[in-house]
Amino acid sequence: MDKRYDHKAHEAKIYSFWEKGGYFKPKTSKKDPFIIIMPPPNANDDLHIGHARFIAIEDILTRYHRMKGEPTLWLPGADHAGIETQYVFEKKLQEKGKSRFDYDRETLYKMIWDYVQENKEKMEGQLRALGSSCDWTRNKFTLDPDIVKIVYKTFKKLHDDGLVYRGERLINYCTHCGTGFSELEVDRVEKTTPLYYIKYPKADGSGHVTVATTRPEPIFVDTHLAVNPKDKKKKDLIGTKVLNPLTDVEMEIIGDSYVDPEFGTGVVKITPAHDFNDFEVAQKHDLPIVKAINSDGEITEAGGKYSGMRTKKAREAVVVDLEKKGLIEKIDKNYKHVAALCYRCKTPIEPMPSEQWFVKVKPLVEKVRGAVKTGKTKFPAKRFEKMFLHWLDILYDWNISRQIVWGMRIPAWQCEDCHEWTITDGDPPSKCKCGHKELVQDQDTFDTWFSSGQWPYAPLQTTKDGDFERFYPTSVMNTGFDILPRWVLRMMMLGIYTTGEVPFREVLIHGLVRDKEGQKISKSKGNVINPLDMSEKYGADALRMGIIWGALVENDISLSEDNIRGQRNFSNKVWNITRYVLDKTEGKKLEFFGPEMPKHTTGKDLFKDDVYSRFAESTKKIGEITKKLDGYKLNEAGEIVYQYIWHDFADSTIEWSKKFVDEDSEKGEYTRGLLVDLLARSLKILHPFMPFVTEALWQITRKEIGDQTGNSGLLKEKALITAEWPKG
């Protein structure tokens, strides 16, 4: 054996030994299965350090349960990631001076498809490099035809059950991405914007009413103002008329309780087409909804002289015109308000009236709430349960249409004659209910979360016969808190709706990976830690241990290269422990107390007492580690393993052993036996954390001294990955 552990010489070989040997596949056993569906990484980029963390977490759990003899499945996959991928791809096009409008739908789709396939393969290689023990024979992609079929079926079922409707609603529209979003895909950022106080002349010429607004540009389509009927000072205005400051058209003042008398001037202009509150008010009062802004972010034809201008320019022009007319009372330039931005590209979101497919969430949400309250799905970290339940309270109907090409095209066809929609589970209908045969498919695709919301069951229904029955509901869903509403919530809604059971029994939330100063990692800060570079430099084992070390799973973690280097040193320590044990035992006679705990001789034989207590210490530590793993305290489990192997086994027992280990006496034989026993146990308990070095050492140890261990049962398994987890 080399003096040092060289991870490059072993990792790839060990991985292919596992994969070719079929060790990642769930075995049959009477025990309850353990299954994690991997949150499918987006197939549009390399894995980043955040992926490395969830890979470490899920692989530790998977390997631990596999060693406990449970039928264990970690199911890998990749996400087409609709808007995300289209955004990344469009950036690439931009670099080449092109845009999505230069290609027809089919060509663009094909180009993104090829791009994604290439990335997907690369990403899968990276998952392997980090030691992921997922079952590649069950690998799935969200756009696999059988998955798409399932998603379509769900859509049709929802529609047949009256839970999907098409309606004109205000949606969150990003003029840059060219698509609408659900409210969960909108970022809110505090911004300082001018607040304009605009005078509306009263129609009877008796003065004016002042309105405060941050958005003067759509004033020309406004037809109403509103005040609070409970506002003593303002309520007399209800029913009176003012003139539109830009068009001089008469506008009526209405009363609605949503107006806050304390804010601004207590008078609000109503722009139903571009503001969610105003839209609601307009529906209540049956006001006209006139679009002032189109999907490119330009003023519509209704805007007269402003039409064609982008909103920002139009605003400037409107303000200039109002100033000329002397209708601006004042401008508060330090007004802070919360702006809605596209979560993808940070362009301001325009509320826009549009026809889209919506899912009624109320009935689905109630079942989700029930499942959480009754503990069918648990959150080991309680605070996330609270957060989750809060989300349930504030959910709106879910807009699932996206105006992008990349994704699953919605299986809905509109009749050119009667304009009725026909929904199928994928195949185009031959004719409309009215008998007409000319039907046109909806141009839109599904929200990615609509398909990934079905990920806990869709792959299982397509992999192997019986998988779904065997493995659903899944054991643990591990994901970041940031997609708790976007993803976990959708999976719960759709999972319960489609299968009648919760999609997972526990939701294990993990925190962010931060740099060593605790700062968020971002390209712009230049503090990116590339997991593959780290793995290349210090070994995948060191990276994995480093990335779970020092913080509970649910908390943010600060990762430093020093930390990873420390773990590399640990992997080397284990290597040298094995080297020592093999050096002292190879070809020598070994004696074991046997697989059962040796009897304590209580002072009659001091040597045997020593052996006993060293063995007992390991058993005690194994018990602690097992308990920590069962409670998802991975860092604490890892730290005990580290502490035990380095300080108890190496620093204490190995140093002690040097007194007897070379003797040909009974003491020598028992000492050597103890070393082998503790080595085997150490490799086992470390394996989930550092799979490569431990498996490499297991193989070497078996080869060197496997036939000396007699019927002790130590080292009996051909592969450590499926060796039996020791009893604590």
Q: What phi, psi does 312 have (nearest 5°)?
A: -65, -45
> Among residue numbers 510 through 539, which ones bind RNA (CB under 7 A)?
514, 516-518
User: Considering the complex, what minimum distance in angstroms separates the CB of residue 298 from RNA?
Assistant: 20
458 vs 590, beta carbon nearer RNA: 590
Rounded to whole angstroms, the maximal C-alpha distance in the chain is 116
Near RNA by CB under 7 A: residue from 107, 443, 569, 619: 569
Query: What are the beta bridge partners of residue 171?
Result: 352
**Residue 268 C-beta: closest distance to RNA, Å:** 4
- Does 232 interact with RNA (rule: CB under 7 A)? no
- Contacts of residue 43, Cβ cutoff 8 Å, sequence gap at least 6: 78, 79, 80, 81, 85, 116, 117, 119, 120, 123, 141
Query: Which residue in the set 144, 506, 536, 556 belongs to the binding site for RNA (CB under 7 A)?
Result: 556
- Minimum CB–partner distance for residue 370 and RNA (Å): 21
Interactions with RNA, residue window 324-343 (CB under 7 A): 337-338
Q: In the complex with RNA, which residue's Cβ is closer, 3 or 523? A: 3
Complex with RNA: residue 65 or 514, whichever CB lies closer: 514
| Tokens 């509306």 -> residue | 200
> Is 17 or 276 the residue whose CB approaches RNA more closely?
276
Question: What is residue 240's DSSP assignment?
Answer: -
Q: How many residues bind RNA (CB under 7 A)?
A: 72
Shortest gap between Cβ of 344 and RNA (angstroms)? 15
469 binds RNA (CB under 7 A): no
Report yes or no: 185 and 497 within 8 Å, Cβ to Cβ: no
User: What strands, in cross-sheet order, belong to the sheet with 439-441?
Assistant: 421-423, 412-415, 439-441
Least separation in angstroms between residue 343's CB and RNA is: 9
Q: Is residue 262 involved in binding RNA (CB under 7 A)?
A: yes
Output the smallest distance, CB 658 to RNA, in A. Answer: 7
Burial of 307: CB neighbours in 10 Å, binned 0-12, 13-18, 19+: middle
Angle formed at CA 125 by CA 119 and CA 130, multiple of 5 degrees: 125
Q: How far is the CB of 93 from RNA (least distance, A)?
A: 30
Identity of the residue, 262 or 465, whose beta carbon is nearer to RNA in the bound complex: 262
479 lines the binding site for RNA (CB under 7 A) = no
- Rounded to the nearest 10°, the torsion over CA 299, 303, 306, 308 is 40
Token pair in block for residue 183: 């409210």
Angle among Cα 425, 484, 363 to the nearest 5 degrees reads 50
Nearer to RNA, 106 or 262 (CB): 262
Supply the minimum distance, in Å, between the C-beta of residue 550 and RNA. Answer: 4
Phi and psi of 200, rounded to 5°? -110, 115
Query: Applying CB under 7 A, which part among 69-77, 257-265, 493-501, 697-705 lies near RNA?
Result: 257-265
Which member of 552, 591, 719, 728 binds RNA (CB under 7 A)? 552
Among 573, 608, 681, 702, binds RNA (CB under 7 A): 573
Q: How far is the CB of 569 from RNA (least distance, A)?
A: 3
461-496: string of b/e by CB count within 10 Å (b at 16+)? bbbeeebbeebbbbbbbbbbbebbbbbbbbbbbbbb
Q: Return the HEC string of 289-350.
A: CCCCECCCCEECHHHHHHCCCEHHHHHHHHHHHHHHCCCEEEEECCCEEEEEEECCCCCEEE
Q: At its nearest, how many Å lie between RNA and the CB of residue 144?
A: 31
Candidate residues 277, 295, 414, 499; the one interacting with RNA per rule CB under 7 A: 277
Considering only residues 65 to 124 of the shown chain, the ones binding RNA according to CB under 7 A are none
Verify binding: residue 671, RNA, rule CB under 7 A. no
Nearer of residues 610 and 717 to RNA, judged by Cβ = 610
Tell me the closest approach of the beta carbon of residue 460 to RNA, in angstroms. Answer: 30
Quick check: 721 binds RNA (CB under 7 A)? no
Q: In whole angstroms, what is the distance from residue 289 CA to residue 223 CA?
A: 9
The distance of closest approach from Cβ of residue 587 to RNA in the complex, given in angstroms and rounded to an integer, is: 16
Q: Which of 263, 430, 435, 606 binds RNA (CB under 7 A)?
A: 263
Residue in 268, 294, 293 with CA at minimum distance from that of residue 281: 268
Contact between 479 and 54 (Cβ < 8 Å):
yes
By CB under 7 A, the residues from 637 to 656 that bind RNA are 639, 642-643, 646-647, 650-651, 654-655
Residue 598 makes contact with RNA by CB under 7 A: no
Q: In angstroms, what is the minimal distance from the CB of 363 to RNA?
A: 20
* 575: Cα separation from own chain's centroid: 36
Return the residues of window 601-640 that contact RNA according to CB under 7 A: 633, 635-636, 639
Separation CA 407–CA 109 (nearest Å) = 9
| 425 is an interface residue for RNA by CB under 7 A | no
**Residue 275 engages RNA in binding (rule: CB under 7 A):** yes
CA-based nearest residue to 529, from 151, 26, 538, 477: 538
Residues 375-414 touching RNA, rule: CB under 7 A, are: 383, 386-387, 390, 394
Distance CA 626, CA 694 (A): 18
Strand order in the sheet with 208-213: 208-213, 195-201, 328-332
Residue number, 155 or 644, with CB nearest to RNA: 644
> CA of 172: how far to CAs of 85, 352, 456, in Å?
19, 7, 28
Nearer of residues 5 and 670 to RNA, judged by Cβ: 5
Q: Does 10 bind RNA (CB under 7 A)?
A: no
**Hey, which residues between 153 and 212 contact RNA (CB under 7 A)?**
183, 188, 190, 211-212
Is 456 near RNA (CB under 7 A)?
no
Burial group, residue 593, by CB count within 10 angstroms (0-12, 13-18, 19+): middle
Query: Nearer to RNA by C-beta: 15 or 632?
Result: 632
Distance, first Cα to last Cα, the chain:
31
* Interacting span for RNA (CB under 7 A) from 171-179, 259-267, 441-449, 498-506: 259-267
Nearer to RNA, 11 or 90 (CB): 11
Residue closer to RNA by CB (options 566, 598) is 566
CA nearest to 399, candidates 183, 80, 143, 84: 183
* Identity of residue 359: V
